[in-house]
């Protein structure tokens, strides 16, 4: 029986609290290769480095950190060079908080999985829903079960499957659902110093619009949300009517 090869990446870096648990569970049935950013790269979305040389640092056996690299850099470098033609599945995570609704646009975790799918490898982004008590071991076990199913049913080829998965610590089951819409109260905060004025984005999550059968409702009701993401962003409804 073939033993699968899984590439793991994330946006929380080598100190990501869910990384060890994910590697442990996946290693029970697959060869695990890890390329992650050296430091946290949350919110970097699909950003990449085009003109800068990045240093690859060995952390352990088949475990590497890309200094200054984004999650997308990590997946590109791994699939194009370090582990070329070896990988059967890309898993990004475990993210420390949920990636729901339009979070998938900004998330470095989701971007790493999306990049894997762009390059023809079935991919999953895995996030823990419970921030206060994420219980990464339970989340990792659930992620491993989903990964086994994907490996059985999905084949390589562009474009490949890309799943966005959010896992509560205690879950009743799995729901395959579309993305919802989240609402945030955002603002720009200014901080004056002797060197000048600096700005940063701040805000808080207000609510998720209660889209029927959405990923937001699924996790709030205690289910794992699984959302297949479409890599083609064309709005076909407007394609012939926009002009």
Mean pLDDT of 179-205: 84
Q: CB-based contacts of 119: which residues, under 8 Å, 6+ apart?
A: 75, 76, 79, 80, 158, 160
Asked whether the beta carbons of 205 and 184 are under 8 A apart, the reply is yes
What is the model's pLDDT at position 241? 86
Q: How confident is the model at residue 119 (pLDDT cuts 50, 70, 90)?
A: very high
State the DSSP string of 119-168: TT--EEEEEES-SSS--HHHHHHHHHHHHHHHHHH----SSPPEEEEEE-
Cβ–Cβ contacts within 10 Å for residue 173, how many? 8
> pLDDT for 54-91, tens place per residue?
999 999 999 999 999 999 999 999 999 999 999 999 99
> pLDDT for 24-52, tens place per residue?
999 999 999 999 999 999 999 999 999 99
In the chain, where the domains are located? 4-176+212-228
> pLDDT for 165-184, tens place per residue?
999 989 999 999 999 987 77
What is the model's pLDDT at position 208? 56
Does the domain made of 4-176+212-228 have the CATH classification 3.40.1210.10? yes
> How much is the pTM?
0.92
State the DSSP string of 94-122: EESS---TTHHHH-HHHHHHHHHHHTT--
What is the model's pLDDT at position 207? 58
Assigned token pair, 41: 């790269």
């Amino acid at each position: 029986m073939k033993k699968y090869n899984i590439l793991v990446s994330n946006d929380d870096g080598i100190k990501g609290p869910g990384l060890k648990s994910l590697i442990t569970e996946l290693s029970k049935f697959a060869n695990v290769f890890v390329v992650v950013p050296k430091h946290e790269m949350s919110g970097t979305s699909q950003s990449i480095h085009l003109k800068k040389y990045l240093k690859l640092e060995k952390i352990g056996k088949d475990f590497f950190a890309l200094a200054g690299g984004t999650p997308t850099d990590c997946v590109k470098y791994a699939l194009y060079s370090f582990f070329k033609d070896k990988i059967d599945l890309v898993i990004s995570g475990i993210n420390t908080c949920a990636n729901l609704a339009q979070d998938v646009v900004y998330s470095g975790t989701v971007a790493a999985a999306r990049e894997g799918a762009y390059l023809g490898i079935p991919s999953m982004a895995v996030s823990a829903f419970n921030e206060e008590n994420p219980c990464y071991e339970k989340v990792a076990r659930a992620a491993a079960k989903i990964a086994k199913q994907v490996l059985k049913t999905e084949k390589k080829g562009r474009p490949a499957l890309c799943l966005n998965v959010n896992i509560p610590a205690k879950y009743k089951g799995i729901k395959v659902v579309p993305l919802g819409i989240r609402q945030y109260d955002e603002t720009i905060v200014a901080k004056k110093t002797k060197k000048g004025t600096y700005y940063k984005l701040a805000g808080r999550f207000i609510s998720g619009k209660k889209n029927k059968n959405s990923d937001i409702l699924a996790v709030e009701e205690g289910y794992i949300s699984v959302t297949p993401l479409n890599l083609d962003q064309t709005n076909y409804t407007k394609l012939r009517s926009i002009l």
